[in-house]
Amino acid sequence: MLVAKAVRKTYGGIVALEDLNLTVESGSTLCLLGANGAGKSTTMNLFLGFTSPDSGSIEVDGLSPSRTPEAARRKLSYIPENVSLYPALSGLENLRFFDQLSGHQRSDGELTEILVSSGLIRSQVLQPVAQYSKGMKQKVGLAIAFAKGAKALLLDEPLSGLDPKASSEFTGRLRQFQETGCAVLMATHDIFRAKECASTIGIMRAGQLVELLDASQVDAQEIERIYLKHMREDSAI
């Protein structure tokens, strides 16, 4: 569903990505770990079509985001670190607006059930988003992505600033996307949650994907050990 082949990307002579190769299959989750500046957000921006590779190729369900951005983005949903919603509107009104942008005309009852299944409680659905916590806003973001029926979900540091309970609830909802056959690519600093929700864990360093781990074969302590080993190598360069 998501494929990067031999991707190189530079900004003003600074190498952001070098020979990036990755694949995210339908129904699987790849979590990217790495320090700030490792290339995680650049990778997301390439799949979203916000920038183009200098060389190599990026594909979303066989489409090039740089050549056919609108067609590729129809396959995607994106949740950033801070979800942008209309604060004066309720969670339901926000979801209704974005649902209509996607070409749907669901009833308020259907939209309410999507919000509840994404983690909001019913008493929160009609509250103005201005009263929502960050975790509640992230749940609305998941509801928007679910309603769109996207084939791939991109998440850039969605757990940043969430308390442990909100983080656990959020990663639990991500498994629903896997179960529907969605491909999930997430950038995060949270090793424990990466282990909890990922099929595969990738470690990025200085624009390169330096290691891929089968999440079912390693525990969080081993992931941390391998991650820190690569970060020490980065410091030694």
Structure tokens at 96: 């209704």
Whether residue 192 sits in one domain with residue 116: no
Number of domains composing the chain:
2
Distances in whole angstroms, Cα of residue 21 to Cα of each of 53, 59, 117, 183: 12, 11, 34, 16
Residue 74 — φ and ψ, nearest 5°?
-65, -20
CA distance 78 to 141: 8
Tens digit of pLDDT at every position of the chain (237 positions): 999 999 999 999 899 999 999 999 999 999 999 998 899 999 999 999 999 999 999 999 999 999 999 999 999 999 988 899 999 999 999 999 999 988 888 999 999 999 998 889 999 999 999 999 998 998 999 999 889 888 999 999 888 888 888 888 888 888 888 888 999 999 999 999 999 899 999 999 999 999 999 999 999 999 999 999 998 876 555
Of 131, 149, 167, which residue is a domain's last? 149
Q: At 138, is the secondary structure helix, strand, or coil?
A: helix
DSSP 165-231: HHHHHHHHHHHHHHHTT-EEEEE-S-HHHHHHH-SEEEEEETTEEEEEEEGGG--HHHHHHHHHHHH
CATH number at residue 215: 3.40.50.300
Whether residue 197 sits in one domain with residue 107: no
**pTM (2 d.p.):** 0.91
**Minimal CA–CA distance to 52: which of 43, 61, 41?**
43
Contacts of 131 (CB under 8 A, 6+ apart): none
Q: At 121, is the secondary structure helix, strand, or coil?
A: coil
Whether residue 211 sits in one domain with residue 155: yes
Whether residue 55 sits in one domain with residue 88: no
The pairs formed by 216-223 with CB atoms below 8 angstroms and a separation of 24 or more are: 219/195, 220/191, 220/192, 220/195, 223/33, 223/191, 223/194, 223/195
Structure tokens at 232: 């020490």
pLDDT, residue 235, reads: 58
DSSP 51-87: S--SEEEEEETTB-TTTSHHHHHTTEEEE-SS----T
Q: At 111, is the secondary structure helix, strand, or coil?
A: helix
Of 126, 149, 172, which residue is a domain's last? 149
Whether residue 205 sits in one domain with residue 172: yes
What range defines the domain where residue 41 resides?
2-75+151-236
